[in-house]
Amino acid sequence: MLRLDIVNGPNLGRLGQRQPEIYGRQNWSEILSELHEEYPELQLQQFQSNHEGALIDYLEALAEGNSRGVIMNPGALTHQSYALRDAVAALEIPVVEVHLSNIYAREPFRAHSLIAPVAVGQISGFGPSGYRLAVAYFVDYLQRI
């Protein structure tokens, strides 16, 4: 079974509660449940942490495992964590960066991603559908390689 990992950074554990006007009303369990329903043939492994080091440890462990791709929403660490960027760059599996909100239409500091240059792509501004779009990308990509 094809495995993809979804890695969510700070504050994403409070989806549906935290600023729903920006991040939507769906909680993470609902989003993940929809992904499992739409892609039953995939093993979707999810990890969320508010701690930069825990995210880096998880990514480093993926280098040893059987994951075929990473869908990552680094949260605010997108704009400030060189350590997380380096962990993504060190991976030999592709990473797609996802953001629920359009980071380019918000505060100016959010318009710069440290992760984007080391990811295969970025999906921003489509709400929870961004995760589905990233999974669809990987399904297509992995069938072609």
Q: What is the CATH number of the domain that holds 135?
A: 3.40.50.9100
Instruction: Output the CA–CA distances (angstroms, integers) from residue 6 to 44, 97, 106, 109, 144, in the order listed.
Output: 7, 10, 24, 24, 21
Mean pLDDT within 102-120: 92
- Mean local confidence (pLDDT), 48-71: 96
Longest dimension (CA), the chain: 41
pLDDT in tens, 127-140: 999 999 999 999 99
Q: Does the annotation count 99 as an active-site position?
A: yes
Q: Indicate if the pLDDT at residue 64 is higher than 80.
A: yes
Mean pLDDT computed over 10-29:
87
Q: How many domains does the chain have?
A: 1
| Separation CA 57–CA 70 (nearest Å) | 14
Residue 48 structural domain: 2-144
